[in-house]
Each structure stands twice: as structure tokens, then as C-alpha cells.
Copies of this chain bind each other. A is one copy, B any other.
Amino acid sequence: MPLSEAPEDRVVEAMRYACLNGGKRLRPFFVMQTAALFHVDTRAAVRAAAAVEMLHCYSLIHDDLPAMDDDNLRRGLPTVHRRFDEATAILAGDALLTAALGTMADPDVHADPAVRCELVSRLAAASGAHGMVGGQMLDLLAEHQDLDIAAITRLQRMKTGCLIAFSCECGAILGRASCASRQALLAYAHDVGLAFQIADDLLDVEGQENDLGKATAKDAERGKASFVAVLGVERARAQARLLIEQAIAHLDVFEGRAALLAAAARFVVDRQR
């Protein structure tokens, strides 16, 4: 094909494809809702929320690659490397990660550069070798391993928990919240993150491929460690419910102003996709 005026636009097209084709938007929802608790300007919060979503979408692109989870379907559409090609998928992921961290440093996110630096630092910590990326490494190494519940919990805290925790902490950082408020949100996020993962495992076992927009029963086929494999369906479901009640209890400090966060916690375990 001939090189157009700006052929690098292909990578931008792949970035848009990965970010703008549905998804639950759970992480940006957490950013917006926690920011609202501290009266953060919506136009600022939405930029931080977009950064978190870009980071999440980069992780999905790379996780779906043939060398990783080798998935063909995501949100009911071909994964980025299937729709484009592997090289474009790797580059689109790289560019989204770069844009996510770069966006947090943007003056439009917060007037105080110290706040923006904290956002960059915390987001990098949540998503790097000792956070999300380390969790994905663990997940790949854990295939066909007998993990106990402590090891699975640690894996999931790193792989998905850290970024969900950052999403909830983000509003507190933007709003210069008190230490108590910030700790309450982190505790909420940790419980919700784990419940989210248990619900994901349950959907992998029980869900319908059409509803999910991605393949089901893949974890079991791969011999992947999961809460359901260790606990069984009934105990896993009970554990998720318990975590959600615990998460909602952490919101008590906000005296009813966090009703949407409480509802979101319930949605996380009741969702069908």
C-alpha cells in the first residue's frame, strides 16, 4: 500500500479502536466518582479518567497478543492484532501507555504540578513491574500450577487490583483528600478489585460467550489458577458477596455521599459481562 500523508496515523487508528469500542468504563467511573466526593472540577477529572482508561486498554491489547493470552475476540470485536496486525497492536499499546502517563503530567489535569507528579508516580507504580505488569508475568508463569488462595489473591491484586486501587485513589489525590478518606477509598478498592476478579472467574465458567463478547472457559482450558478452581462456584460466589459488603462498609466515612460507589460495588458481582 502507498504511504499516505501521515501513515503513522495507523497506530492512532488502532489506539482509537482499542479504547473507543465499548467496555464497561469501570476504572474511569471510579476516577470520576471518587473525584466528585472531593468536589474536583469535572473537566480535570475526566482527563485523569481518560488516562486510566488508556492505560487499561493498553494492557488489554498486549494481554490479547498471541505470545500472551492469544485472544481473538474482545468486547465482541476482533482484538487489535486480529483487526490490524501484531506489530501495530504492540505499538498501539506502547503509545497508549505513553499517552496515559503523559496525560497525567498535563496542566489541564490539575493546576498544582506536585499533584500531577503524584498521579504519574502512583499510576506508574500501580502498572509497572511490581504492579500490573508483574501480575501479568505471574499469571503467565502460573499456568498449570497449583496455586493456593494466598498466591491467587496476590496475583490478582497485582494484575487487576493495583490499577483499580489507583482509579479510586486518583480522585482523592486530585481532591487533596484527608489521609482517612484516601485510606477508606483504597480499602474499598482492594475489596472491590478482588470481588471483580472472582466475578470474572465465575463468568468465565458460567457466562455466555455472546453476552461477554469474548471466549469463555479459556482459563480452565489453559489450566489457569482461578478463585473458582480453588474454592468452587458456591464458595467463590459467597466470597465475592462478602467482599462487596466489606467494600461498602468502608464507604461509611462518606456518610451517604458515596451511594453510587456502593451501587457500583454491587454491580461488579451482579453483572453478566
Beta-carbon contact of A67 and B94 below 8 Å: no
Known: A116-B113, A129-B15. A67 touches B95 (CB 8 A): no
Closest CB-CB distance, A74 to chain B, in whole Å?
A: 17
Interface residues of chain A: helix, strand, loop or mixed (majority): helix
Q: Say whether B127 contacts A98, CB under 8 Å.
A: yes
A 154-178 to B, binary, CB cutoff 8 A, 1 in contact else 0: 0000100000000000000000000
Q: Do residues B128 and A102 form an inter-chain contact, with CB atoms below 8 A?
A: yes
Output the least CB separation between A34 and chain B (Å): 21
Q: Which of A98, A123, A140 has the most CB of B within 10 A?
A: A98
Per a CB cutoff under 8 Å, which of B15, B62, B85, B102 touches A125?
B102
Can you sample 12 A-B contacts with CB below 8 Å? A3-B141, A8-B130, A11-B133, A58-B94, A67-B90, A87-B140, A91-B133, A94-B97, A98-B127, A101-B124, A104-B120, A116-B117
**Other than the known A1-B141, A11-B129, A68-B90, what 9 A-B pairs have Cβ atoms closer than 8 Å?**
A62-B94, A67-B85, A67-B87, A98-B101, A98-B124, A99-B129, A102-B124, A104-B120, A106-B121
Write the residues of chain A forming the contact surface with B, with a CB cutoff of 8 angstroms. Answer: 1-3, 7-8, 10-12, 15, 58, 62, 65, 67-68, 85-88, 90-91, 93-95, 97-99, 101-102, 104-107, 112-114, 116-118, 120-121, 123-125, 127-130, 133-138, 140-142, 145, 147, 151, 158
